[in-house]
Structure 1
Amino acid sequence: MRLDPLFEALDRIDGPGETVQETLRLVAPPSYAHRYIVSLIASFIRGNPEFFVNLEVTTSDMVTLGILENRFDLAVTGIEQSRAGIKLIPFRESPAVCVMRPEHPLSGRKILKPIDLHEQELIALTYRHGRRGQLDRLLHQVRAEPKIVAEVSTSFAAADMAREGLGLAVINPFPVYHYRSPDLAFVRFESPMRYRGHFVVSDQKPVPRIARAFMRHLRLNTPPDPFSDPG
């Protein structure tokens, strides 16, 4: 994978001769921060001991606001909030999957469709997530009526409830797959639902060199999985 064009473009944004900023002010939502981002911050600092990273964990709604208010240099988020004053750089893309315990009756399927969720026990995302409404519409179109047993606010929480045997959940597999695949079955969900991760930077100021270095680090060191692809 050639990354040079992306970072050459960012070099042009940065401009020549700017002093290296040694501290990266980074923000991410919990689904990215607590496991995935933390592990890559550790390897980033080990490889660049002169750098310092300040990580803020907050809700997805506040991530973009933090960039706009110049409180952070870089955000990593799965929520696409295109607004004036920010630049979105595609990072990761994945389809929806159904996640469940390996002994679940549907775990052996290669693909699951919305109709397959009829009368199944379902762990759903809360209604503040746009994905919940999208899933509800898909189920309504085929007259599938699952049994909602719980509502949660993150994909990790949904996966953990599925691991406890409460039912199945429809989630974004990235980065959950990397941390839950030994305990759960992941089955592709046939639907138009797509999840896209982005780097978020300001388009009103130069992108710091340390932010470019961290983006490169994430792109090069994110392990592959069967569902997500580089954005």
Structure 2
Amino acid sequence: MAQTRHSKRWHSISEYEALRALMQSGTTTAASAQLGLSQSAVSRSISTLEARLGCTLFERDSGRLRPTQEAVRLNRRLDSLFDALDLIDGPAEPVQETLRLIAPPTFAHRFLVGQINTFLRTNPHIYVSFEVNTSEEVVRGILDDRFDLGVFGVDSTRAGVKTVPYRVAQAVCAMSRDHPLANRAEVRPEDLHGVDLIQLSKRHARRNQLDRLLAQARAKPHVVAEVSTSFAASDLAREGLGVAIINPFPLYHYRADDTAFVPFTSPISYRVNFAISDHHAIPRSVRSFMRHLRLNTPTDPFSRKA
């Protein structure tokens, strides 16, 4: 028994290196080339690590090895270890690095600007190039290798782009504080019958889902405006134009003082993801910024860590 407990405390950096290489590349062939090892050595390291941890770390999917949730969580915990190793092996002074970041307006305005500010104060050796654009351009920019990291609210399935979960949120009704529904504990689809509604444009995936929910509840709101971003929808709602069904993250953090947010009872939920290349190793600046966001995102009543 004592030997078993001891083995669980034992760590192998080579096994962790194999894990990270395989997560980045998706195949033992590419991982072995990255590490300068044989494929059998990489496979053996992963098998040994799985046996020691007592869980499956990779599942085969159409010729590629897809990491399980256990692998994702373990890899995330290893960031600080490999950052420390980089400092030991690297030069005494931090090397100037560039982080090429892209995000749509809802995440870029105020929220990411503030996070970039605090990030650069603690990482003065990193230079940030930041572009504000559409979610479609986030995916395209990662594919074209024009950006290292994207933050967006789309579940992309494009080959070459890997999405890493960041936040999960439930839909809310945003409205002015003097709106008749503002003091409700929750708002249901049927409660929106005859209510002035600010809709997101039909290019948004949740728009069709909302339309179906309203039809099922036989609720016919009065659509007074259609906008392209949650940012614009919440601003119009704050001005008293009507109710907007939106993703509360990150708008809640800088609209809570002047806008009412009420949970919308429905299956509508949102995922906020990081977008990174599935073909290249993750730069240290990207890992650092992702970790900074996870550690410094303030809590709110409507979203949680993914």
Q: Same fold, TM exceeding 0.5? A: yes
Aligned residue for 1:111, secondary structure, equals coil
Q: In the alignment, what sits opposite 1:121?
A: 196
The list of structure 1 runs, each at least 4 consecutive aligned residues, that deviate by more than 2 angstroms after superposition, is 7-12, 15-21
Q: Which has the higher contact order (CA 8 A, sep 6+)?
A: 1
Q: Please report how far the alpha carbon of residue 33 of structure 1 lies from its aligned counterpart in structure 2 after TM superposition.
A: 0.6
Q: Percent same amino acid among aligned pairs?
A: 55
Aligned: 1:70 with 2:145: yes
Please give the alpha-carbon distance, in whole angstroms, between the structure 1 residues aligned to 2:290 and 2:282. Answer: 11
Aligned pairs (5 A) from 1:19-34: 22-34=97-109
Over alpha carbons, which structure has the higher Rg?
A: 2
Kept in 2: contact 1:28–1:63 (CA 8 A): yes
- Relative to 1, partners in 2 of residues 1:18 and 1:63: Cα closer, same or farther, differing over 3 Å? farther
Please, which runs of 5 or more residues in structure 2 have no aligned partner? 1-72
Deviations along 1:195-227, one digit per CA (max 9) or x if unpaired, are 000111111110000000000000001111111
Pick aligned residue for 1:89 from 157, 160, 164: 164
Aligned pairs (5 A) from 1:1-231: 5-8=75-78, 22-231=97-306
Please give the alpha-carbon distance, in whole angstroms, between the structure 1 residues aligned to 2:167 and 2:282. Answer: 20
Number of aligned residues? 227
Structure with more helix by fraction: 2
- Relative to 1, partners in 2 of residues 1:212 and 1:11: Cα closer, same or farther, differing over 3 Å? farther
Deviations along 1:45-98, one digit per CA (max 9) or x if unpaired, are 011111110001110111011111111111111111122112111000000000
Aligned residue for 1:148, secondary structure, equals strand
Please give the alpha-carbon distance, in whole angstroms, between the structure 2 residues aligned to 1:82 and 1:35. Answer: 28
Q: Please report how far the alpha carbon of residue 129 of structure 1 lies from its aligned counterpart in structure 2 after TM superposition.
A: 1.1
Please give the alpha-carbon distance, in whole angstroms, between the structure 1 residues aligned to 2:259 and 2:103. Answer: 25
Deviations along 1:120-165, one digit per CA (max 9) or x if unpaired, are 0001101111211111010001110000001111111111101111
Normalising to structure 2: TM-score of the pair? 0.71
Q: Which amino acid aligns with 1:52?
A: Y
Kept in 2: contact 1:21–1:209 (CA 8 A): no
